[in-house]
A and B are shown apart, each in its own frame.
Chain A
Amino acid sequence: MTQREEQERQAIDRYYGEKMAFPMDEDIDLFMADMSQSLEKMKIADEDSMNLSLDEIIHEGLLRKEEKKRRKEMRNFILSSLIIILSLPLWMVVLGMKTILLWQWLLLIPVTLVILPFVKNGNRKEVGSHE
């Protein structure tokens, strides 16, 4: 970056009150005067003329939120069921059995309860972040 460019950037900083810049050349003063004039022309107020009904958006948003929650619960249920089913052969090996009885199935409940929170909290992502 050239010295001139840096001085122009400092002039912009000063215009926007971002930070105090160093003393500048007369030449940069001219740049600043032109800049102020141009930027003055760019002033536009926010035009609030969109035909959006916030009430409708909120209604739809809340419906979507409910739907999302329901889908998430369903996914968690399917995942935990899968974990139980897939861990069955492992339990059979651990318990040294060829068949598994009903009471032994009950042993799987604490395992599921331990695993479930990890499944629920896993893979969170910030909405504002880049996709």
Chain B
Amino acid sequence: MDERDWIQQAKQGDRKALQQLLSAQYPILSGYVMKMAGKRDLAQDIVQDTLLKAIENLDRYRHEAKFSTWLIQIATNRMKDEWRKQQNSFPTEELEERIPDHGKEPEEEVMRKLEIQEAMEILQILPLEKRSVFILKHYYGYKYEEIAGMLSCPIGTVRSRLHYCVKKIMEEVERRGSNDTKRRAGKASH
């Protein structure tokens, strides 16, 4: 059975089909929202609202785009509302403690958490609209055309936003890298 069949059955009120459909999209949706929001509690609220809205309005889904695209579009709009409410910033938090363990060696686990923490911090530096372009392209491999459809903007804008993000990330990675080097040099001289 493919996605279209699940949707059709879910529209007819089949709860199992709805469960199947949402379970399949859940990792992408939660990953996208988490990277956008940078805060687990806020991300949970947004994912929950998005899924509720999708269930409520499933009859309106017209198969013009992939189901995941539709969900991301709803989540992005919900996120914009939240962004406006919180006056153009999401409160940040220490994510490290809340990243789940993958059962690796403790040292390896710490390194992994630090890397995730750093990547998340860098993502939060990017402005919301530009961040969503970067996340959709870098992590989920959507085409420029699809991203333009999701965010209702021209392809040229998608390209320019991505360019902005990549440059900003390069600068930030370099800045953090040089700070680390200075820190290490400082420690060595003492």
Residues of chain A at the chain B interface (Cβ within 8 Å): 5, 8-9, 12-13, 16, 18, 34-35, 37-39, 41-52, 54-55, 57-58, 60-62, 64-65, 68, 124, 126-131
* Alpha-carbon distance A10/B47, docked complex (angstroms): 34
User: Smallest Cβ distance from A46 to chain B, in angstroms?
Assistant: 3
Q: Tally chain B residues at the interface, Cβ within 8 Å.
A: 58
Given contacts A34-B170, A58-B19, A128-B70, contact A44 B44 (CB under 8 A): no
Given contacts A58-B15, A65-B55, contact A41 B31 (CB under 8 A): no
Q: Which B residues touch A9, using CB under 8 A?
A: 159-160, 162-163
Residues of chain B at the chain A interface (Cβ within 8 Å): 15, 18-19, 22-23, 26-28, 30-31, 34-35, 40, 43-44, 47-48, 51-58, 60, 70, 73-74, 77, 81, 98-100, 115-116, 118-120, 122-123, 137-139, 141, 143-144, 152, 159-160, 162-163, 166-167, 169-170, 173-174
Is B159 within 8 A of A41, CB to CB? no
Number of A-B contacts (CB under 8 A): 130
Is A127 within 8 A of B74, CB to CB? yes
Given contacts A18-B143, A48-B30, contact A35 B166 (CB under 8 A): yes
Q: Which A residues touch B23, using CB under 8 A?
A: 54
Most chain-A CB neighbours within 10 Å: which of B23, B47, B143, B163? B163
Is A35 within 8 A of B56, CB to CB? no
Is A43 within 8 A of B166, CB to CB? no
* Alpha-carbon distance A8/B164, docked complex (angstroms): 10
Q: List 7 A-B contacts (CB under 8 A).
A: A16-B137, A42-B169, A45-B31, A48-B30, A54-B23, A60-B52, A127-B70
Q: Which A residues touch B119, using CB under 8 A?
A: 41-44
Is B48 within 8 A of A47, CB to CB? no
* Alpha-carbon distance A40/B23, docked complex (angstroms): 29
Is B167 within 8 A of A8, CB to CB? yes
User: Smallest Cβ distance from A8 to chain B, in angstroms?
Assistant: 6
Contact residue among B26, B141, B144, B152 (Cβ-Cβ distance under 8 Å from A54): B26
Q: Which B residues touch A51, using CB under 8 A?
A: 44
Is A61 within 8 A of B52, CB to CB? yes
Contact residue among A5, A8, A12, A44 (Cβ-Cβ distance under 8 Å from B139): A44
Is B30 within 8 A of A41, CB to CB? no
User: Smallest Cβ distance from A68 to chain B, in angstroms?
Assistant: 6
Is B115 within 8 A of A50, CB to CB? no
